[in-house]
Structure 1
Amino acid sequence: MIPTRPASPKTRTPQLGREAFRALRYRNFRLLFTGTVLSQTGDFLQIMAQGWLVLVLTGSPLSLGVIGFCQAVPRLALGVLAGMLADRFERRRLLFLSQAGMMAQSIVYAFLVATHRITYPQIIVLTLVWGSLNAINQTARSSLIPALVPREEMLNAIAIHSSAFNLTRTLGPALGGGLVGLLGVAGCLWINAASFVPLLWALAAMQFPPRTPAERSSRAGFGEALRFVRGERDVLVAITLTYIVAFFALPYSRLLPLFARDVFHSGPGAYGLLMAAAGVGAVASTLALAAFGRAERLARLLPLVTLLLGVSLVGFVCAPNLGVGIGVLVAFGALQLGLRTVAATLIQSSTPDALRGRVTGIFLMDIGVWSIGTVVIAALAEGVGVRWGVGIGAGLCVLAGAAAVRTERAR
């Protein structure tokens, strides 16, 4: 597919501020970015409100961990299928349908909360539905980006798209901390349902030639993707490191309601600030990455970033107060999304279009790995306390990062 070119190619400028956003000169990518900012702000608003709802209903760290597991495990179970669908059908249409399904889920969820009928088992079912649709949504969205910009703008486009994710990860919880108290959980869910409309419109407004689906059997197609990943060392390392971070480090985010209430002795406002903190660092990181031309220059730093990421999470666990905790999470967010943006760009730029959906599906299964890690870390937190539970995971991430650094230096 040929990306829609900007109207005036001569508008390029060496100024860093403008160059950091150069992928937005392409109309289709601009539509995706704008719709994503609004839609994902609602998603994170719902996630924040849901975490507080579960804490109020159950008061249990393990219950929060189970919801985190249900939210992410479909990515592990359906990652391969989502990739196959993205390689066989028009990715824009697949993204549109998954977004429409997630909108319907939010409407049902809001109705049950507003009418005081919601129960913890219902939250589990609704979360599994959301996670299943989101597995298709994220794979189709990530696979679509290379069709919207030229290859040389890939890192810039993925960094900008990641900045949208992290901007919304900051805005959603920051708004949610106040809106939960003002409008209640149901009000936050209704806002999320409305936030899908701009992205659905943006997808309908995109213009480019239809994509010819790959003609392969499901079994052969998946085997081909696995062989490709095994044969590309940089791709294999990038996927492995994202899996390690997902299992050992990222589960902390599902337990932030406990940090807010039991460690820092605060309420939903503090919870929203903690969720937003990592997003602030991530936005800064991805905008800085947008100024780089190619991800290959940064790929060899991934092991070191993994090590530093684990160290920063240890710092959060040891934070003596809320202010220090927020500051450390800013650094953590910058490292985590820096790692993921470079890994995603490396994978997208190294993978042939015919395999892109399946390889992207394998990469995005890190969210499913996150779900398993969440249950493990939450179970530890239930037994030894939230600080020690998250701290053990952080320490193991440090050890894995150190081993990866040593291996990289030996190359």
Structure 2
Amino acid sequence: MEGAITMEAVVEKEQMKVPVFKNKNFVLLFISAIFSSPGYYVYLIGAEWLMLSINDNRFYFGMLFFAASIPRLLLLTIGGLIADRFNKRTILFCSDLSRAILIGILIGFLLTDSITAVHLIILAACFGISDAFSYPAMNSLTPILLNEEQLQRGNSFMQMTTQISPILGPALGGTLIALLGFEGVFSVSLAMLLLASIAVLFIRLKEESDEAEKPSPWEDFKAGWNYARKNELVVSIVIMAFFLNFFFAGPLAIGLPIMVKDIFQGDAVSLATVQTAMGIGALIGAILLASIKLKKPGYVMIISLITLGVLYTVTGFSVNTLIMAGLVAAMTFTTQLVNIPLITMLQQTTDKKMIGRMMSFLMTVSTGFVPVSFVVTSVLIAIGVGIQSIMIVSGIIITLIAIYNLRNKKILEFKF
């Protein structure tokens, strides 16, 4: 009996040493993400530049982000429940396919020359609904397909796909807008999302035994909420992220395109340059974390947050596109040193049956202020407050919040 246990342990240890790319299911998930994330960013730069081109009222531009964030926020918890109860592969397939259909509708509006700001805002809201279901499913699939020892590396590779997106997506999108117009950029995005949905279909998950009667969705929700409430690490991270996102999400997402077009007098290629720089910085950060294992992830997180706040403040003083692109690249590199350890911490300390719910709770609560951030930023711009001033003040506040969290021992003392 003892020999059998020893042999089992050796086999398990050997499995943990297997590279993540020997895992066929993970490779398919990775391939799907390679098409899905850049495809979304190709759509995004097209939608952003289209909104800036058809309407001079920058309040509507802010509403583009607000419309996407509200359904995402309201439905993320439901998305987590569904991810824990149903086939995650099917959820991802439906998400990518629905995005492709939405882009097809947008192309139809363009071909009939009937596109308006309202159409773009409604489509953004529909994309937000899709995000609410795809995010928990994607992040709860990774720990199911990989062993715990592979999680940091697997998450880093998945983050690479996410961060290649702001490199390939804007670069491809800006070029296509210049060469083929908006119909061309959206057609390529549609094709990429269709390919992503096809790759997901080939993932094979083990069928779980279903002998016990499943609890109701409400019981699932209560169980997940109680689990999250008792997890001190989750509570610490969520409280910090709740306030940080308010000062970061709105000013950055709305501010960068407006600065490029209105202050630097740039074009779609200029915006693509800035967003590509974002992807390059984030990709380098993801590659770094795929090649090393952090000994003090919590400490790295807090110091990186302080650095992020300082860089964000300085970005508000940018005088041209290239300087802003360099600062943004440094910011997104630093962001990876926050995001990847955070997700890995949560995955390693969470029961696998609860991962979908924990991911959705984290996103729901921590991004609770994001829609408000979009509205407040839009209103401040509408009443005449400069976007650069908004970014500078927000960066200073983020720095102060991060410094305050140097007292948070629960995060600082965490070890993988």
TM-score between the two structures when normalised by the length of structure 1: 0.90
Q: State the distance in 2 between where 1:111 and 1:246 align.
A: 35
Shift of the 320–260 alpha-carbon distance from structure 1 to 2, 3 Å rule, reads: same
Q: State the distance in 1 between where 2:246 and 2:167 align.
A: 22
2:254–2:374 Cα contact (<8 Å) kept:
yes
Determine whether 1:73 maps to 2:70.
Answer: yes
Q: State the distance in 2 between where 1:307 and 1:244 align.
A: 14
Within-5 A mapping of 1:275-314 = 275-293=275-293, 297-314=296-313
Amino acid at match of 1:157: G
Determine whether 1:106 maps to 2:108.
Answer: no
Q: What SS does the corresponding residue of 2:146 show, helix, strand or coil?
A: coil
Q: State the distance in 1 between where 2:25 and 2:380 align.
A: 45
Alignment partner, residue 264 of structure 1: 264
CA RMSD of the aligned region, Å?
2.2
Shift of the 386–88 alpha-carbon distance from structure 1 to 2, 3 Å rule, reads: same
Alignment partner, residue 388 of structure 1: 389
Alignment partner, residue 151 of structure 1: 148
Q: What SS does the corresponding residue of 1:206 show, helix, strand or coil?
A: coil
2:96–2:194 Cα contact (<8 Å) kept:
no
Within-5 A mapping of 1:72-91 = 72-91=69-88
Q: What SS does the corresponding residue of 1:290 show, helix, strand or coil?
A: helix
Overall identity of the aligned pairs, in %: 22
Shift of the 334–245 alpha-carbon distance from structure 1 to 2, 3 Å rule, reads: farther
> Which protein has the larger Cα radius of gyration, Structure 1 or Structure 2?
2
Q: State the distance in 1 between where 2:245 and 2:27 align.
A: 29
2:93–2:198 Cα contact (<8 Å) kept:
no
Shift of the 312–84 alpha-carbon distance from structure 1 to 2, 3 Å rule, reads: same
Q: What SS does the corresponding residue of 2:151 show, helix, strand or coil?
A: helix
1:307–1:401 Cα contact (<8 Å) kept:
yes
How far apart are residue 371 of structure 1 and its match? Answer: 3.0
Alignment partner, residue 3 of structure 2: none
Contiguous gaps of at least 5 residues in structure 2: 1-13
Determine whether 1:378 maps to 2:378.
Answer: yes
How far apart are residue 198 of structure 1 and its match? Answer: 2.2
Within-5 A mapping of 1:131-142 = 131-142=128-139
Shift of the 136–205 alpha-carbon distance from structure 1 to 2, 3 Å rule, reads: same
Q: What SS does the corresponding residue of 2:399 show, helix, strand or coil?
A: helix
Amino acid at match of 2:401: A
Q: State the distance in 1 between where 2:412 and 2:298 align.
A: 16
Shift of the 234–300 alpha-carbon distance from structure 1 to 2, 3 Å rule, reads: farther
Q: State the distance in 2 between where 1:89 and 1:303 align.
A: 36
Amino acid at match of 1:371: P
1:235–1:346 Cα contact (<8 Å) kept:
no
Q: Which runs of 4+ in 1 moved over 6 A?
A: 9-13
How far apart are residue 169 of structure 1 and its match? Answer: 1.5
Alignment partner, residue 45 of structure 1: 42
1:155–1:292 Cα contact (<8 Å) kept:
no
Alignment partner, residue 336 of structure 1: 335
Shift of the 394–11 alpha-carbon distance from structure 1 to 2, 3 Å rule, reads: closer
TM-score between the two structures when normalised by the length of structure 2: 0.89
Q: State the distance in 1 between where 2:25 and 2:228 align.
A: 29
Q: State the distance in 1 between where 2:347 and 2:59 align.
A: 36
Alignment partner, residue 17 of structure 1: none
Amino acid at match of 2:309: G
Q: State the distance in 2 between where 1:323 and 1:378 align.
A: 25
Alignment partner, residue 207 of structure 2: 210
Alignment partner, residue 225 of structure 1: 224
Shift of the 173–400 alpha-carbon distance from structure 1 to 2, 3 Å rule, reads: same
Deviations 1:361-396 (A, max 9, x none): 112224564333122223223331111122222222
2:163–2:279 Cα contact (<8 Å) kept:
yes
